[in-house]
Amino acid sequence: MNNIGLYIHIPFCASKCPYCDFYSFRSDEATREKYAEAVIRELHSAAGKYGRTADTLYLGGGTPSLLGGNILADIIEAAKRDFRIDSGAEITVECNPHSLENGIFEKLKAAGVSRISLGLQSANDSERKRLGRRADRSEIESVIKSIKSAGIDNISLDVMLGIPDGNIDSLKSTLDFCISQDVSHISGYILKIEEGTPFEKLQGTLSLPDDDAVSDMYLFMCEYLDSHGYKQYEISNFAKRGSESRHNLKYWNCEEYLGIGAAAHSFIDGKRFYYPRSAEGFINGITPEADGEGGDLGEYAMLRLRLTDGLDEGELKKKIGISIPDNMRKKAEKYAADGYLVSDGQGIRLTRKGFLVSNTIISELIY
């Protein structure tokens, strides 16, 4: 039985960014402590139910660092104990670079954390302000220095494209900042205006670049990062060799993972399930809800085609026991002719041009 990935959702933020639709909210200290206790309770219960071991642990949110180093260490130690996570595991904690507790990274390092993901979005202070980010560039530099001083060298920075008033010059400035900090991983996401967010309400007043400009930014980012040693391995992710996110690769390879916390999703034994978006319900012991079956050809192909390695013929045979279907190959032909993908004996994989319209291409290939 293969090791699973373990995800813990911490839904607390100091303030809500105007573009974010993740389940998160402001909270008091008592709520955060009760929530942490519920996480530890659910970890122990799930370990007894599924009897699995894990080799990746990811604490996301929200802003997990709001819990502080001691509480995070307690959660990590509980996960390590219940899921027999050893010293070689990848343990990631998402952090907001603003208002961090003194000494938090030393505490996380002592608890076994090997990777920190920071929400940068932009290194330009004017853009960060429009995005609702509190820390300025100098504070982020200081935080990165503190992470490295604590002995955690695997650092990922999130970058956002297509933001209000954004352009290639400002994007290059942000990428240059990431490169200058010698981080190991960069995620570059295109801004999507999500329903119910403040940005949706302000959409008519936002000076957003058009689709062609955003496409140019994306292609520039891919080429620029590649020229500086950050190899693209997924639509939105770039890493120095050996620093790819092992946890996220479990999702894209359609491997098993267990999510703990309000709004956290799981895929175990061919079944998908999730906790409702209610911290109060989670604290009070609400049970996960079923979300159907998973792992079939369509889902596997959809996830694998997000990777630069694409839908690999050999891996598909090992995973599901079949070759890439002829009808999928036939549908791929027209996209290959236009440079959106490559279809050969190795498999089917999207090009960078294809990644820009991946939803359309993948939907047609698998349906």
pLDDT tens digits for range 211-232: 999 999 999 999 999 999 999 9
For residues 193-213, average pLDDT: 90
Backbone angles phi, psi at 4, to 5 degrees: -100, 170
Domain 4-251: give its CATH superfamily. Aldolase class I (3.20.20.70)
Predicted confidence (pLDDT) at residue 367 exceeds the cutoff of 90: no
The percentage of the chain sitting over the pLDDT mark of 90, rounded to a whole number, equals: 90
Token pair for 133: 């980010």
For residues 189-196, average pLDDT: 92
Backbone angles phi, psi at 256, to 5 degrees: -80, 145
CATH 1.10.10.920 positions along the chain are 310-367
CATH 3.20.20.70 positions along the chain are 4-251
Provide the CATH number for the domain formed by 310-367 in this structure: 1.10.10.920
Contacts of 274 (CB under 8 A, 6+ apart): 259, 263, 264, 265, 266, 288, 289, 291
Rounded Cα–Cα distance for residues 11 and 262 (Å): 7
**Residue pLDDT, tens place only, 303-361:** 999 999 999 999 999 999 999 999 999 999 999 999 999 999 999 999 999 999 999 99
For residue 204, the model assigns a pLDDT of 82
Predicted confidence (pLDDT) at residue 133 exceeds the cutoff of 90: no
- The rounded mean pLDDT for the chain is 96
Confidence band of 202 (pLDDT split at 50, 70, 90):
confident
